[in-house]
Amino acid sequence: MKKIYLLLAILLTSFISSYAQQYGNLTVFSEDGDKFFLILNGEKQNEEAQTNIRVEELNQPYYSARIIFEDKTLAPITKNNLMIVDADAKFMDVTYKIKKDKNKKVKLNYYSMIPVQEDFMPPSGMYVRQFGQSGQPGPQTIVQQPVTVQGGGRQTTTTTTTATTNSNSNGIGASLNVPGMNVNISIADPDMDAHTTTTTHHTTTTHTGGQLQQQQQQQPQYTGNCKGWPMAAADFSAAKKTINESSFDDTRLSTAKSIASSNCLTCDQIVQICNLFSFEDNKLAFAKFAYKYTTDPKNYFKVNNVFNFSSSKEELNEFIQGQ
């Protein structure tokens, strides 16, 4: 049996390596924080209303989408032929934004499109689901906010990550569906029962005395939509490369906004991204947009250094004062 398991693992690795880019991912978020349910091709993606949903491993170039809001006063949105590929039919990471127009009517608008990120790390608060077969919920991951309790000179921080997977048959099964190829592999094992597995990880850290004071100083100061730690160095390096590969400054700006809206950034990281733009207006536009996603707003004065004109610095300062 171990040899069979090993063979199965080798086959899956081979197929996945050969077709690594034969799927795309979709992110839908509400600009105003309205909670909603997302339905793709008739399949409901979330049982509880969310404000930010990412659906992974979409292997069709187009999907029919329907959005139903928790607030019944908001009319549902239907969008046919929602695109998951670019003009060259290459699968992408696509983001759509729900926003209200001047008449307070909700609409689903295209926001950005970037190459598929293989090592994507979902920000805290994002609901992530792999697109599954009809009627069967796919694996889900929800990262909850860290909970910190202080008392008696001690600080305990607990972070909870819950992942749910499903198995509907005895043994091991695998299904790989990509354009032009369908592969289904299963191995029956009488010692294995059908089950649903929920794995919850709790990470608890306790600090005392001087450690508590140091930890308090290191805690990020959240602003706006930012509720997590800043991007790791490796992820940020990949993000900068993706932004810089865009041929036009406006495309760089839309890509940078998409990355910022799904992550948290330090002021130093925002400065580095601003320096990727050729035009002062785009630097200023991103600096304003990224403010609500920074972890250290008290250091935002550093961003002024990217501007050549004092008028841009003054405009950014006025914007921050108005927040």
3-state secondary structure of 141: strand
Question: pLDDT digits over 247-266, tens only?
Answer: 899 999 999 999 998 888 99
Question: Based on the structure, what is the number of domains in the chain?
Answer: 2
Mean pLDDT, residues 38-49 taken together: 94
What beta strand segments (E) does 116-194 contain? 127-130, 140-143, 147-151, 154-167, 172-178, 181-187
Q: Phi and psi dihedrals of 17, rounded to 5?
A: -65, -35
Tokens of 99: 């926003």
pLDDT of 62-108, one tens digit each?
Answer: 999 999 999 999 999 999 889 898 888 899 999 999 998 888 899 99
Residue matched to tokens 């930012």: 226
Range of the domain at 34: 2-165
Last residue of a domain, one of 110, 132, 165: 165
Q: Are 25 and 55 in contact (CB under 8 A)?
A: yes
Q: Are residues 151 and 252 in the same domain?
A: no
Does 215 fall in a domain?
no
Residue 164 has pLDDT above 60, yes or no: no
Q: What average pLDDT does the segment 270-283 reach?
A: 95
Within a domain: residue 78?
A: yes
Query: What is the rounded average pLDDT of the residues 119-139?
Result: 70
176: CB partners within 8 A, 6+ apart: 12, 15, 16, 19, 182, 183, 184
Query: According to the model, what pLDDT value does residue 22 have?
Result: 83
Check whether residue 144 and residue 243 sit in a common domain: no
- The answer as to whether 225 is a domain residue is no
In a domain, 306, yes or no: yes
pLDDT by residue (tens digit) across 100-125? 888 889 999 888 888 888 778 887 77
d(CA 156, CA 227): 18
